Structure 1
Amino acid sequence: MKKTLVSTFIGLLLNTGSLVAQSTTPPTDSAAAPAPKLTFSGYAELYYGQDFDQPNAQERPGFLYNHKRNREVNVNLAFLKAAYAGERLRGNLAIQVGTYAQYNYAAEQPLLRNIYEANAGVKLSKNRDLWLDAGVFTSHIGFESAISKDCWTLTRSLVAENSPYYLAGAKLTYNTPNGKWTLLGSVLNGWQRINRLPGYTKPSLSTQVQYKTGSALTLNWSTFLGSDRPDSLKQTRFYNNFYAIINPTDKFGVTLGFDIGADRKPLTRGGQRLGTGSYVWYTPVVIARYATSSRSYVAGRVEYYDDKDGVIISTGSANGFKTWGYSINYDYAIFPSAVWRIEYRGFSSKDAIFAETATGPARRTNNALTTSLAISF
């Protein structure tokens, strides 16, 4: 079934590629709406990772979902995308493969694991930039995506790896006429879920307020209200995502992020609360990037993730997941559409949570080197 879907999509690309290459004759009336456009694009990222502290392990630590395989050349993410853009209608379909899809979509039905995007939208106002979209779309929560080429660091931050990369549902988006403000509200199937979690019947809600002045400054606040547990536990989740991207010149920029979430403590079998209050986790991150030339960048990252109750990252250790992370990477654009990157990354945890095997000795630290080649077209 998956092979049939992918084959059909590739056939669509081959059969319609000649139509895309042809230019559309512009309307004679200058006031007429622009002609709809159907465009095709693609992305692929190959990588190799070497874990120095777990040299014989086949996978990187369990809280990572990108660049997951150890000591082997593999595909992190590759997709083909078709996008339709009209005056009042739009749509996207992107079919993916790679270890990102293998690990990050593990909870989805097998066919759905190949969907990177599948959505359609309608413009609700003739004079306002107000859109209603429904389907599967990339998440508005966070400043990083699964497309490494678009991010400042080769690997994803802990906050990105452990919050939604994709969402499914319906969203209402409004952009102000001056292009500085974006307001979004959505009704979702759950916390990064295309299929609704068994036993969870209520909708989840999410919002976004973003202020942007070109590429110089971006301020963002996104939220999630819902649950990732069955209804019987009555564990409401409230998550806040804050970040600022300060990039006054093309030479130097800084990203500051802070996320905090809370899950209400669950009900026991007797209908009583396990305790008062909520389980809380939080994570700050700072990334700085400097252009060493017109084709190259260096970037450094410092981050911390505190999930002592194991809501998102369960360790089974005394102090839970309390881990510092740091990385430094170098990027070189071989061509405008091809980027080679190399990154050294380390983790330091309060408890010894990094074990090469289930029965082997555990460490408090983990260090790895990753390199990748990403191309887009």
Structure 2
Amino acid sequence: MKKLVLASIFLIGITDYVKAQDSTGPKIPFDGIETNWQNGSDRRDSSVFHGKYFVPSVMMDINYTHSFNNPNDNTVVGSTALARNNEVQLSQLSLGGDFYYENARAKVMLQFGTRSNVVPRNDLSPYRGQYQLANVYRYLSEAYVGYHFNKWYGINVDAGLFMSYIGLNSYYQVENWEYQASFTSDNTPWFFNGVRIQIFPSKTLKIEPWIINGWQSYGKFNKMPGLGANITWNPNSNLKLLTNDYYGTDAAGLPERKRFHSDNSLLVRYYNKPQSKGISKMAFSLTGDLGFEKGGGVNGFKNDSSKGPAQYFLSSMIYNRIWFAKNKFAWTIGGGVMTNPGRYLVLYPTGQASPLPDPNNPTQTEGKYPFSANPGDQFKGWDCSSNLDWMPNQSFLLRLEYVHRHSSVPYFAGAGGVTSPNGYTTTPLPADWRPDLVKSEDRIILALLFRL
């Protein structure tokens, strides 16, 4: 009897020890919280790859878009997702993956296609110094190395090229509810180059400081680095709150001009019956941005005769998404508004030839006929879109989308295009020719998105 009691005590002790070991195992941030419904997040339940040291990733984004303005050169203006009208385009081919060895970590994602040209064109920092940084980094969307510390739910310290969260939308279209991003997302950064520190003090909270070269810039515009942080709170599977805040000097050659930006989003899933043959899920995302530049001839939110005109950024966007047929189909509708006096975050229209900006005017944009972005220049815009998605599995998405965009000044490519009278860059330009810019556009987008 005594032996039986001792054996029982031993077994109970072993069981308690195993439970204790399990409770002190690896802590995974957001473990058990569904995030695959969120706008700007990976919609997969899991990867098909399960390597110990390397988890590969493959993404493809192919689109066809038709503008009802029918520009003669097929050029899309004011978009980082689209490049050419009325043509089948490989927007992005991404190859790479995540590497792990003990607590060391790294990620490399190569990028090819039109996005490798469309996104870097908006970064003028390579004009400071040598080595053509826009070409050096052009074919990389992510490339960083770091270390994971086993503290709380983890601390990651990474250095290199990594994604920006400002504007909610993901750099990768397969993660977004809409294809053509609203002004709030399209006119804010897609990437950062520098150092980030991801701190997970609890399962539901992330605090992520940044020390970076600048606002979507491969290099620094001035001596000061960009400083910022992301805070994400995801308390359960139906709610997500996040804020991104940034401070830096991002006007080339004007170190006294400081930029501040605050980006804030709320995501709510308000209905969830994943096995329903009718409506299976409903959710919305709401984003609001506020920012300004001050100093160096501009004065934030207020016009001042001695300090300069107001130069700020106000924008918001809202999208609602409804899934059907066990999440095989989805319908999204939404849009946004933006005002940006000074146009410092406007995606500038392209023009023929594209010489370097005037070195005596660091705020001038590229092109033979540059889009005016002087202090006090006004720009307001609004957009709306609706799309239908077919998602037969977690790796494939077919999207049909209709988009309307409008601006307060001529901005989008009109019938005459932005290149030359006949649309070719080799055509000599008549003295009286100018890019044909109009105030609105309507377009239809068909996109095939793949992720493995």
TM-score (norm 1): 0.83
Larger RCO (alpha carbons 8 Å, 6+ apart): 2
For the pair 1:303 / 2:378, whether they are aligned, the reply is: no
Letter in 1 for 2:403: R
Q: Do structure 1's residue 332 and structure 2's residue 390 form an aligned pair?
A: yes
- How many equivalent pairs are there? 342
Distance 1:344 1:128, change over 3 A: closer
Map 1:114-153 → 2, pairs under 5 A: 114-126=139-151, 128-153=153-178
Determine helix, strand or coil for the equivalent of 2:271.
coil
Shift of the alpha carbon at 1:64?
A: 1.1
Alignment of 1:78 with 2:100, yes or no, is no
2:283 corresponds to 1:253: yes
Question: Does structure 2 conserve the Cα–Cα contact (< 8 Å) formed by 1:266 and 1:274?
Answer: no
The gaps in structure 1 that reach 5 residues or longer are 1-28
Whether 1:263 and 2:293 are equivalent positions in the alignment is: yes
- Structure 2 equivalent of residue 170 of structure 1: 195
| C-alpha contact 2:57 2:95 (8 A) present in aligned 1 | yes
1:90 aligns with 2:105: yes
Q: Select which of 33, 37, 62 maps to 1:46.
A: 62
Instruction: State the partner residue of 2:4.
Output: none
> How much does 1:296 deviate?
0.5
Q: Secondary structure at the match of 1:369?
A: strand
Cα distance between partner residues in 1 of 2:306 and 2:237: 47
Contact kept, 8 Å, 1:334 with 1:340, in 2: the verdict is no
Give deviations 1:190-233, integer Å, cap 9, x for gaps. 11112223xx1111101111111343111011111002113545
> CA contact under 8 A between 1:81 and 1:95: conserved in structure 2?
yes
Whole-angstrom CA distance in 2 between matches of 1:137 and 1:353: 30
Q: How far apart are 1:176 and its partner, in Å?
A: 2.6
User: C-alpha separation between the residues in 2 aligned to 1:132 and 1:355?
Assistant: 43
Q: 1:237 to 1:293 in 2, by over 3 A?
A: same
Report the Cα distance in structure 2 between the residues aligned to 1:347 and 1:167, rounded to whole angstroms: 27
Map residues 335-374 of structure 1 onto 2, 5 A cutoff: 335-356=393-414, 357-358=417-418, 359=434, 362-374=437-449
Question: What SS class does the counterpart of residue 109 from structure 1 fall into?
Answer: helix
Decide whether the 8 Å contact of 1:169 with 1:187 is kept in 2: yes
The answer on whether the counterparts of 1:232 and 1:267 sit within 8 Å (CA) in structure 2 is: no
Judge conservation of contact 2:337–2:382 (CA < 8 Å) in 1.
Answer: yes
The 1:116–1:352 alpha-carbon spacing in structure 2 relative to 1, beyond 3 Å, is closer
SS at match of 1:149: helix
Query: Alpha carbons of 1:186 and 1:362: their partners in 2 closer, same or farther (altered >3 Å)?
Result: closer
Q: Which amino acid aligns with 2:381?
A: T
| Secondary structure of 1:247's aligned partner | strand
- 2:314 and 2:297 map into 1 onto residues whose CA distance is 23
Task: Name the residue aligned to 1:103.
Answer: 118
- The 1:332/1:276 distance shift into structure 2, 3 A limit, reads same
Structure 2 stretches lacking a partner, 5+ long: 1-20, 28-50, 124-132, 273-280, 299-304, 349-370, 419-433
* Counterpart in the other structure of 2:314: 282
Could you tell me how far apart the structure 2 residues matched to 1:125 and 1:337 are? Answer: 32
Question: Shift of the alpha carbon at 1:50?
Answer: 0.5
Partner amino acid, structure 2, of 1:280: Y
Residues 277 and 240 (structure 1 numbering): CA distance in 2 closer, same or farther, change over 3 Å?
A: farther
Structure number with larger C-alpha Rg: 2
- Of Structure 1 and Structure 2, the greater strand share is in 1
SS, match of residue 160 in structure 1: helix
Q: CA deviation at 1:247?
A: 1.2
Q: Which residue of 2 aligns with 1:195?
A: 219
Confirm or deny: 8 A CA contact 2:152 2:201 kept in the other structure: no
Amino acid at match of 1:56: N
Instruction: Report the TM-score, using the length of structure 2 for normalisation.
Output: 0.70
Letter of the aligned partner of 1:298 in structure 2? W
Given the superposition, is the C-alpha separation of residues 183 and 33 from structure 1 closer, same or farther in structure 2, using an over 3 Å criterion? closer
Between the aligned partners of 1:316 and 1:164, the Cα distance in structure 2 is 21
| Cα offset, 1:361, TM superposition | 5.5
Question: 1:84, 1:92 within 8 Å by CA — same for their partners in 2?
Answer: yes
Pair 1:214–1:98, CA change in 2 (3 A): farther
Deviation at 1:127, TM superposition (A): 5.0
* Closer, same or farther: CA 362–123 of 1 in aligned 2, 3 Å: closer
User: Aligned equivalents of 1:360 and 1:128: distance in 2?
Assistant: 54
- 1: CA distance, partners of 2:310 / 2:156: 35
Secondary structure in 2 matching 1:248: strand
| Structure 2 residue matching 1:54: 3-state secondary structure | coil
* CA deviations over 1:268-315 (Å, ceiling 9, x no partner): 9xxxx9625751111110101011222000001120111132122265
CA distance in structure 1 between the aligned counterparts of 2:449 and 2:296, rounded to whole angstroms: 43
Question: Residues 333-355 of structure 1, C-alpha deviation per residue, up to 9 Å, x if partnerless?
Answer: 13321110010000122333334
